Amino acid sequence: MENGDYEVPENANEHCPGTQSESAGKSDACAGCPNQEACATAPKGPDPDLVTIIERMATVKHKILVLSGKGGVGKSTVSAQLSFSLAGMGFQVGLLDIDICGPSIPKMLGLEGQEIHQSNLGWSPVYVESNLGVMSIGFMLPHPDEAVIWRGPRKNGIIKQFLKDVYWGDLDFLVVDAPPGTSDEHISIVQFLQATGIDGAIIVTTPQQVSLIDVRKEVSFCKKVGLPVLGVVENMSGLCQPLSGLKFLNVTETGEQKDMTEWVLQCMREKVPEMLNLVAFSEVFDTSAGGGAKMCMDMGVPFLGKVPLDPQLCKAAEEGRSCFDDGKCSVSAPALKAIIEKLLSELKVPRPEIMEDGA
């Protein structure tokens, strides 16, 4: 809700003057409002740090948020591999981790144990390659097992500090990995970046309803705050891996397991060797309701594609490396590549020209 130029909370009293009004929390209309004390004590007017953030972000061409309504759907994996892929194409890329309580990005980029350094230009990102820089609170913790027990205002403060104090230089893309949900961190990052121009959000889900219920809320959040939804990625869309990589067991009635893998593979090699080139697929989650594609159709947002649950992609994330480099992620890498190509097409971003040696 809005009152003239001022924002009005949904649970505000009638005739609310607005949260940024000089009479906020003080007028007769504020009596008994649950927000009265917060409005009366909150600073008024535009945030002076926004000017600094706008100046910092002026050198960033595209800003993309990666969101999810539900935790554990592979949002950080998508953020990490998106950044690896864009950097591999020759773009200048920054990856900002604002998952304050659960920073996974240092692990997934192979940067555990690294620290932030200060220069006369500000905080310097930690670099994977010369064209892929990373910033995360994970670099600031004294020990990787250290818990971050912060309330909203302190989380918002560190997000603001990342935006105004980190010197990224010229970037083609800034990918922002957000925590699951629609809480303080999401409101803050959208408010801070909207003044600088933000392309939109990629939303990650898994196929089953227990995830899609929360992802619908995430889409609703984006629409309410005016954040374009660039598309939805359905991750873990069926277990998919080469047949030769499976383990085969003989399970007795008592639950005892006997490994039959070598026997099965030997039978295949001798009798049907062409089977060793096949890929096994199994639905892990219930997709009877239509999955992410159906949800996108219902809510009027783009569907970017599906990424299978690939053990090799999980291993790449654990080892902090790109899934595109060594050919091991033979089922997930092509799916991710197609999604990223679709995203670039939607954003109308041409590939950078790669200068040849001596040019």
Instruction: Specify binding-site residues for [4Fe-4S] cluster.
Output: 16, 30, 33, 39
- The annotated binding site is made up of 16, 30, 33, 39, 69-76
Closest CA to 280 of 247, 249, 238, 241: 241
Alpha-carbon gap, residue 192 to 179, rounded angstroms: 16
- CA-to-CA dists, residue 328 to 90, 160, 310, angstroms: 22, 39, 10
Residue pair 249/259 in contact by the 8 Å Cβ criterion: yes
Alpha-carbon gap, residue 98 to 2, rounded angstroms: 28
Alpha-carbon gap, residue 109 to 247, rounded angstroms: 29
- The annotated binding site for ATP is made up of 69-76
Residue pair 285/249 in contact by the 8 Å Cβ criterion: no
Closest CA to 292 of 70, 97, 86, 98: 70
Q: Identify residue 359 by its one-letter amino acid code.
A: A
What is the DSSP annotation of 258-319? Answer: EE-HHHHHHHHHHH-GGGGG-EEEE--S--TT-HHHHHHHHHT--EEEEEEE-HHHHHHHHH
Residue pair 289/297 in contact by the 8 Å Cβ criterion: no
DSSP state of 256: -
**Residue whose entry in the numeric block shows the structure tokens 């004390």:** 37
